[in-house]
Amino acid sequence: MARRPANPISESMDDYLKAILVLGGSEGKKVTSTALARRLNVTPASITNMLQKLAASTPAMVQYERHHGVQLSSAGKKRALEVLRHHRLIETFLYEVLNYPIEEVHDEAERLEHFISERFEERIAAKLGHPKFDPHGHCIPALDGRMPKDSSMRLTDVRDEGTFIIDSISDIDARILKVLKVRGISPGVQLRVRDIYEDHGYAVSIGSSKKILQLSQADSAAIKIQPM
């Protein structure tokens, strides 16, 4: 029964799989080349190349039809969740154990996630008490890949004034993360939408404070919320 060995998964392949996952390319939805190109900071041509490779590998990591987007196969999704788990555990570790400033954990985790062993993962998870959320409020996939469904919504989808709980903050832009930190905007905090400037941001207040904060559109786009 000479089962041929699964071909190795490179660091780059991992990055692509994780990006597809985060952009929603599991559960039937498809992701476009352009969206991937933007997220990964490479040209669309490079995306096409890699998608062909991911589709051709054994087992196939994605389902891909040219000009019609990609989505993860079950093997691809499994792998992407492993990488995401690594990433978020490392972020939590850097924040909790090594006292990193929140806006620095992402870049470091982004590099390290490809190189830590299963043992490293196991040890930091144990040290942290098997956390369910990273410091940005994002859910950490379990070892078996299970992850509760995310019921949060984007602040930028809000059309009416109201009160919410901050669910999570996107970690990709350190600058925004720092801006939000100094304004007290972090997961779990209550956020009241006071005014909406169509496509130009929001006026909000935090907790029980009456102070009004102006958030740019870019800042607002990094915030996910839950209705109270």
- Residues in contact with 109: Cβ distance below 8 Å, sequence separation at least 6, in sequence order: 86, 87, 88, 90, 91, 94
HEC per residue, 56-90: HCCCCCEEECCCCCEEECHHHHHHHHHHHHHHHHH
- Which lies closer to a copy of itself via its Cβ, residue 128 or residue 147? 128
| Ranges within 174-203 binding DNA (CB under 7 A) | none
Inter-residue contact 173 to 222 (CB < 8 Å): yes
58 lies in the binding site for DNA (CB under 7 A): no
Binding mask 94-133 for a copy of itself (x = CB under 8 A): x--xxxx---x--xx--xx--xxx-xx--xx--x------
Task: Return the one option of a copy of itself, DNA, none that residue 33 interacts with (CB less than 5 to 8 A, by type).
Answer: DNA
Site for DNA in 64-83 (CB under 7 A): 66-69
Question: By CB under 7 A, which span of 50-58, 116-124, 151-159, 175-183 interacts with DNA?
Answer: 50-58
| Candidate ranges 16-24, 54-62, 91-99, 131-139; the one touching a copy of itself (CB under 8 A) | 91-99
* Residue 138 CB-density burial (10 A; 0-12 exposed, 13-18 middle, 19+ buried): buried
Judged by CB under 7 A, the stretch of 42-50, 124-132, 186-194, 202-210 that binds DNA is 42-50
CA nearest to 169, candidates 118, 90, 105: 105
Binding-site partner at residue 112 among DNA, a copy of itself, none, CB < 5 to 8 Å by type: a copy of itself
10 Å CB burial of residue 142 (0-12, 13-18, 19+) is middle
| Segment interacting with DNA (CB under 7 A) among 10-18, 76-84, 128-136, 169-177 | 10-18
CB 75 within 8 A of CB 20: no
* Total interface residues for a copy of itself by CB under 8 A: 18
Query: From the list 22, 23, 53, 60, which residue makes contact with DNA (rule: CB under 7 A)?
Result: 53
Q: Which does 124 bind (CB under 5 to 8 A by kind): a copy of itself, DNA, none?
A: a copy of itself
Binding site for DNA (CB under 7 A): 10-13, 15, 32-34, 41-53, 66-69
Q: What are the residues binding a copy of itself (CB under 8 A)?
A: 94, 97-100, 104, 107-108, 111-112, 115-117, 119-120, 123-124, 127
